[in-house]
Amino acid sequence: MKSVLRLATVDPDEQSRNSIKSMLLGVDTVWLEAECSRYEFFMDVAQQTLPDIALINLDSNPQKALQLVAEIAASKINCVILVISTSQEGSLILQAMRNGAREFLNLPLQLEDFVASLDRLRVTVRGSTGEVGSRGGQIITIVGVGGGVGCTAIAVNSAATLAKNPQNTPVIIDLDLALGDADVWLDIIPEHSIRDIAENITRLDYGLLKRSLTRHDCGAYLLPRPVELEQDAIVRPDDLRRILALLKATFSHLFVDISKSFSRLDLAVMEVSDRILLVTQLDLSCLRNVIRTMQLLDQFPSIRGKVDIIVNRVGLDESDISLQKALEAIGQSVFWQIPNDYAVMIGCRNNGIPLPQFAPRSRVARSFSDMVDRFDVVDDAAAGEEVARKRSGLFGLFAGR
């Protein structure tokens, strides 16, 4: 989990103060260090407790509150200032920011807005103290160009590989709500699923999220699909974005295994993703679908440029289309190649044991280890770059073989 931020708050209104306090109790990345009911006393409180964040409600007396903001900003207290108010008046917001506030949020506070603000402030806090800032979590969506190309295997084993480092807290989200089987790969019979969150979205907090996750022995967490087959959508795109925002604020990596239908839900996930892994194999049908999928995703500005191609099961058959021929066809470089090792992977699945535990020294396990090391690396030369999209006819792949 991310390191905890210590927070001190001042709010003369008892009802508002208690409401904020209740919200803070549900956010396990924040510790309420102190609370104060008088603006004039808060400076002393802050000097004694030295919080990471000073949370100031402006509403009871905006003039006094703004003066307090300026005093804290000018003091030697090494904290960042977050102000809140029911007012949306531009002059008040501007004055608060000029006096030294780093964030301005409107009341009533929405949990996802508050968490997103904390994540932004966390970078400032860690930077000002000379510590290495903890990165915001990454959302990595796994997209398959056909059935059985290995999306779930990649999601599960990438998360399990990252979990070998105790500083990582990966979560697998099985968003194939009809036929997902991430729980099979982990040999988990979950008590809760994404349905529990969807049915209680109006009171969503970290307590509910954590109860809905199941932790595997390898260290990765799973948010599984519902047990029953569903005809109606159980979660809306906006609700899913909210769920992902809260998970991203607490966990290091989110691996989302989506369906093959490119539904509104799937596209909503890809829009908020940091990286999209498009999984293919070196056969004609898959490569044709790579081109079709890229043409679809290129239509969305919020998705375009985030797609990396993974070639799975390389060496599956000597008659496979060569990688060079595939590159010529799809017109884009490949982010990673995962070697074929049928015996190991089927053993992982049938026993419900991820690669790092089942076959840690296998060639495919080493490939996963090298691949996840790349997730946190920004390759400036490759980022967003595409080879000229010649995309010659697919049947030309067989010419000259």
CATH code for the part of the protein at 5-128: 3.40.50.2300
Q: What is the mean pLDDT of residues 154-181?
A: 95
Pick the more confident residue, 290 or 392: 290
Residue ranges of alpha helices (H) inside 104-229 are: 111-128, 151-162, 182-185, 194-199, 206-212
Task: Give the closest residue to 175 by CA, choosing from 206, 202, 197, 203.
Answer: 197
> Quick one: pLDDT band at residue 400, thresholds 50, 70, 90?
very low
Site of tokens 């005093």: 71
Q: Residue 282: CA atoms inside 13 Å, Cβ hemisphere, count?
A: 26
**Ordered strands of the 170-174 beta sheet:** 214-215, 221-223, 170-174, 253-257, 138-144, 275-280, 307-314, 336-339
Give tens-digit pLDDT for 298-307: 999 999 999 9
Q: How far apart are CA 70 and CA 63, in angstroms?
A: 11
| Topology match between the domains 5-128 and 138-392 | yes
Q: Find, among 301, 372, 312, the residue nearest to 138 by Cα.
A: 372
Encode pLDDT of 104-123 as tens digits: 999 988 888 888 888 888 87
Model pLDDT, residue 176: 94
Work out the number of other CB atoms within 10 angstroms of the CB of residue 350.
12
Instruction: Of 147-161, 240-254, 325-339, give the range with the top mean pLDDT.
Output: 147-161
Contact 214, 224 (CB under 8 A): yes
Q: What are the DSSP calls for 168-181, one per residue?
A: --EEEEE--TTT--
- pLDDT the model gives residue 36: 95
Return the pLDDT at 249: 73
pLDDT above 50 for 191? yes
Whole-number pLDDT of residue 377: 66
> Which phi and psi (to 5°) does residue 140 adopt?
-120, 110
Task: Give the tens place of pLDDT for each residue, 340-397.
Answer: 999 999 999 999 999 999 999 999 999 999 999 999 765 433 444 443 344 444 544 5
pLDDT of residue 157: 98
Evaluate if residue 228 carries a pLDDT over 50: yes
- Closest-CA residue to 163 (of 115, 118, 245, 222): 222
- Of 66-80, 237-251, 367-381, which gets the smallest average pLDDT? 367-381
Q: Residue 257 pairs with which residues in a beta bridge?
A: 142, 174
Question: What totals of helices (H) and strands (E) does the chain contain, helices first?
Answer: 16, 13
* Domains of the chain, residue spans: 5-128, 138-392
Mean pLDDT of the chain: 87
Domain 138-392 has CATH 3.40.50.300: yes
In this prediction, residue 325 carries a pLDDT of 84
Q: CB under 8 Å to 348, separation ≥6 — which residues?
A: 153, 157, 185, 354, 355, 358, 359
Cα–Cα distance for residue pair 44/34, rounded to 1 Å = 11
DSSP string, 348-367: HHHHT--HHHH-TTSHHHHH
Band of pLDDT at residue 174, cut at 50, 70 and 90: very high
Q: Count of residues for the chain?
A: 401
